[in-house]
Amino acid sequence: MYVFGMSKRKFPIKVSARAFLTEDASIEFFSEFEVVPGCSSDSPSRGKRRKIVISMKLSDGTDSPIIEESHDSAISDKPKQQVKYGELVILGYNGFLPQGDRGRRRSKFVLYKRPAATGVKKSRHYVVKTPHSSQAILDTMQHSISYTLSRNHAVIVEYTNDEETDMFQIGRSSESPIDFVVMDTIPGDKNGEVKVNQSTISRFACRILCERNNPKVARIYAAGFDTSRNIFLGEKACKWQENGREIDGQTTNGVLIMHPSGGFCGGEAKCGVWLETSVGGGIFTKRESRSAQQRGQMVEDVTNVLQDGTLIDLCGATLLWRSAEGLEKTPSKHDLEKVIDEINAGRPQCPVGLNTLVIPRRVSPNENQQQPYVYLNCGHVQGLHDWGQDKDSGARKCPICLEQGPVVKVCMGLEPAFYVDSGLPTFAFNPCGHMATEKTVKYWANVVIPHGTNGFQSVCPFCACPLSGSPGYIRLIFQDNVD
């Protein structure tokens, strides 16, 4: 029995609690307490019961616990569920960063509706001779963009608060204006923190504005506001002003976007055309190189509104936008792990060692007799053995079909956002061995990602490893499916 303080009176209270694990991977905590009657001169005539239920879903950390409070005498209103705009997911990570998701530095970022609007919109623009000493730049509460045309000539565009939008900023900087910190992606397995000597990602790379009254609409703009709420485009930056009207520009290495052609969910989408968005949200064809000072041609029939499956390239990292509506049609991480369990329950065997193979959730650097390997030229899945190994080239001859070629560990692709459909993971990327559904593997094998100053390549979305050969994937053949 405990005594809780309630206003200025104290009542003895009996407290009991219990927890349950539900079928949908949630934990429910039940806490019940009762005011004991007759223990105080000013206590109520009879005991009152009050129950608190806390339901917490086990997830990858992107969901918030939902707290529900109920009374015996009356049912209270549930708290409103957060409005979700969508998710930004970095290509090259299989559901988490190698050193762990921490704060704003993580493999994915969920955009929720803010408690109060944080968006901005253009208010006015004017010409100044010394932009760094102008009032708009010096005022740390004023959002503004400075376009330097020459040493003594600049155009300043002031922005005012927009009660109808929420703003989210992405970049390499760890300063407070950045909501999602993105670093350069290193292809392949990432067993620890790998640093790049010189990053090509802008510290304040881009910003996304989501409409509060229409959560399906999210627009992307190049460049983000710094700690002083300013954006500076220097004299050498790519910028233009047509007929003395509104001015616009592009960042040093640019922000490229690619809208998929067709619906992302269902696997029928095709790779679209890579275009570039401007600071003002215009859409243009790509420049001749990432840092060229001459912009491309304006594209009238494409907007900066993000679609489910839109790719955003920041010159060093590529992000995938998944809308809240699209994510509802995508398998969850729990669904993917359940598929792994079902495959492992079939106890696939290695035809050489005759040992049972177990598909892992994470690839271990250590050798494991249960770790499945796939022959990339034929697709047969086997265990670790030395049969048919060429000591000079490292290639191995498949004992089932005698096809010789490279061998790689098989691992499940566990980032749900990369999946275009639900189904069995019957295919794997070449050369990394990440498993996924047939439509998912084939979609990503036909998507090209910007590489270098003006190149493109297809990569595995789970590790960013460039795909090898044609078509860049292989159909998996387990021993239990051979006969």
State the DSSP string of 276-319.
EE-TTS-EEEPPSSTT-SS---B-TT--SB--TT-EEE-SS-EE
Total residue count of the chain as it appears in this document: 483
Encoded tokens for 118: 């944080």
Encoded tokens for 322: 């998944």
Residues 341, 349: Cα–Cα separation, whole Å: 15
Place of tokens 């290495």: 253
Q: Which residues contact 386 (CB under 8 A, 6 or more apart)?
A: none
Query: 3-class SS at 357?
Result: coil
pLDDT score of 64? 37
pLDDT of 415 over the 60 cut: yes
Residues 294, 254: Cα–Cα separation, whole Å: 12
Widest CA span in the chain? 91
Name the amino acid, one letter, at 153.
H
pLDDT in tens, 305-349: 999 999 999 999 999 999 999 999 999 999 999 999 999 998 888
pLDDT in tens, 205-229: 999 999 999 999 999 999 999 999 9
Compute the Cα dihedral for 303, 307, 313, 314 and give only its sign: positive
Place of tokens 């009762």: 34
- The alpha carbon of residue 425 and the mean position of all alpha carbons in its chain are separated, in whole angstroms, by 21
pLDDT of 110 over the 60 cut: yes
DSSP letter assigned to residue 40: S
| pTM > 0.75: yes or no | yes
DSSP letter assigned to residue 105: B
- The alpha carbon of residue 28 and the mean position of all alpha carbons in its chain are separated, in whole angstroms, by 28
The pLDDT of 89-99, averaged and rounded, is 88
Q: Which residues contact 201 (CB under 8 A, 6 or more apart)?
A: 171, 172, 182, 183, 184, 253, 314, 315, 316, 317
How does strand 274-277 pair with strand 255-258? antiparallel
Place of tokens 């990394």: 432
Q: What is the mean pLDDT of the chain?
A: 83
pLDDT score of 396? 86
Q: Are 319 and 306 in contact (CB under 8 A)?
A: no
- Kindly list the distances between the CA atom of residue 55 and the CA atoms of 17, 24, 63, 68, 483, in Å, as whole numbers in the listed order: 13, 11, 12, 7, 47
